[in-house]
A and B are shown apart, each in its own frame.
Chain A
């Protein structure tokens, strides 16, 4: 248990530094796409939603899990698509 927690914590702390370093290099003009893009990335919680939705449980759990999968999918699909729409405009502005 403690071993597992320490591994998780190590990854967590290192990810903070990686996140800070990569994100601080994103220029101001791309901050909106950065936000909607990272927004789509936290849709990874859909992985968790799928794991709980795939287990055989009662109707109450299934209903909640269904909502979680719907919400997670909206987050992922909507997030990546809308970010792509924005970034396409920036590419178009290059000319």
Chain B
């Protein structure tokens, strides 16, 4: 039996933990202090957890200890083993775990009322139901997102007839059951189980129709959901550290969701309900498109020609896309860039906000390959520089350099901010094939007279290119 400090001491510990979380996030504003910030937040977490263990309401430690050991081992192994390319699905899984935990905690709160056969006050049942609903959606939604990113479920948007009306009906049913539970006030575990079960189902159906390339938005949104579910749990337990931290995360996820949508110039409703990237019925995709005139030719180029061009360039901008990550070519790209820099070429990386499968993903992949973060530029910073750039090297990126986003009001990506690769003197596009990108549309940039295509696996082409530059 542990000694029980007064309840006020525990609340002070929670307050300090909340402050440490806020300071930790604040220190994330610079790469220099970021790691210390994360450690600070972790220290806050440890403090909060120790304080909780001393709470007088806790009388048995067996379950807690067993759970912490099992969860700790799984979490540690997963965090150590995961490849940086798989970070989005890892974050989705961790996020789903939090959502699941929040849903269970809410449900057990409800069950406590049921066991004591006490009426549930309306405020209490609302916070419990909100916590369970959002937590459950986040739990199953994250698992589906994980499946899509991991390739266990198709990355394409899955659509079927009457999908939207059915989803809406399901949601209305969930809210109706919830309202009934609040209204009657009498705890009813059977009806509650239906509420929770349908919420879990809704999480699956909510994410299924969203395509793989839109996962940055989905992951951000689910992150904010788990935060809000945690905050709701805080309301039902009257625990302020849960409210504060849950809300911080909710704000973070919401802001990132907004930024991702802005980076694609698509409203959130379009991302969630637009089934972007779905396989349209009837005819192969991209066939007989009016925007690509007959007889337009792409220009192939040899590795040697590209090597010469790069070696004698003054300024080169590298535009990495998800294709680069898939080919695991980050390290090769860094070597090539360093070789060019040693020849006096100025090399910069242009990172589109939605490059990768979660916000900021490409930056992490390049940092892993030891690319100094000073060389990474975001869209607004790099776009004015393309005019004075000799070679724009597009590696595995597609939609984010498609000029149709600027010029063709009929294009699905019209209005999306793009990297102005077409303004460079020469454009070299490294791609596996002419297959369209996530948006499933043709890219006029490939037919630009200044553009040259270097087909093949990115990793392979890059290493050939590096060898060729060495012998220039």
Contacts and interface: CB of A to CB of B under 8 A. Distances in A.
Contacts of B360: 28-35
A34 B61 CA distance: 33
- Interface on chain B toward A: helix, strand, loop, or mixed SS? helix
Interface string B270-285: 0000000000000000
Contacts of B253: 35, 38
Given A23-B255, A28-B360, A71-B100, A66 B66 contact: yes
Nearest to B95: A39
B75 A32 contact: no
A69 B68 contact: yes
Query: How extensive is the interface on chain B, given as a class?
Result: 35 or more
Contacts of A72: 67, 71, 97-98, 101
A58 B226 CA distance: 28
Interface residues of A, number: 82
Interface string A30-46: 11111111111111111
B248 A55 contact: no
Contacts of B35: 84, 87-88, 90-91
B371 A19 contact: no
Interface of A is mostly: helix
A51 B237 contact: yes
Interface string B49-93: 100110101111101101110111011101110101001001101
B364 interface: yes
Given A45-B105, A54-B57, A71 B230 contact: no
Interface stretch (B155-163, B176-184, B372-380, B440-448): B372-380
B370 interface: yes
Contacts of B108: 52, 61, 64-65, 68
B121 interface: yes
B398 interface: no
A35 B32 contact: no
Contacts of B67: 49, 53, 65-70, 72-73
A85 B323 CA distance: 23
Given A22-B26, A72-B98, A38 B223 contact: yes
A84 B72 CA distance: 16
Given A28-B360, A31-B360, A44-B45, A52 B246 contact: no
A47 to B, nearest CB: 5
Given A66-B63, A91-B35, A27 B29 contact: yes
B314 to A, nearest CB: 24
Interface of A: 1-2, 4-5, 8, 11-12, 15-16, 18-20, 22-57, 61-62, 64-95
Given A42-B95, A65-B108, 13 more contacts: A29-B360, A30-B31, A35-B219, A41-B41, A42-B230, A54-B55, A68-B101, A78-B76, A82-B94, A84-B39, A85-B79, A87-B38, A94-B31
28 contacts: A12-B243, A16-B250, A19-B247, A19-B251, A27-B30, A31-B256, A31-B259, A38-B249, A39-B98, A43-B94, A44-B17, A45-B229, A45-B246, A51-B58, A54-B55, A66-B66, A67-B100, A68-B101, A73-B74, A74-B75, A74-B94, A74-B97, A75-B98, A80-B45, A81-B76, A84-B35, A90-B31, A93-B31
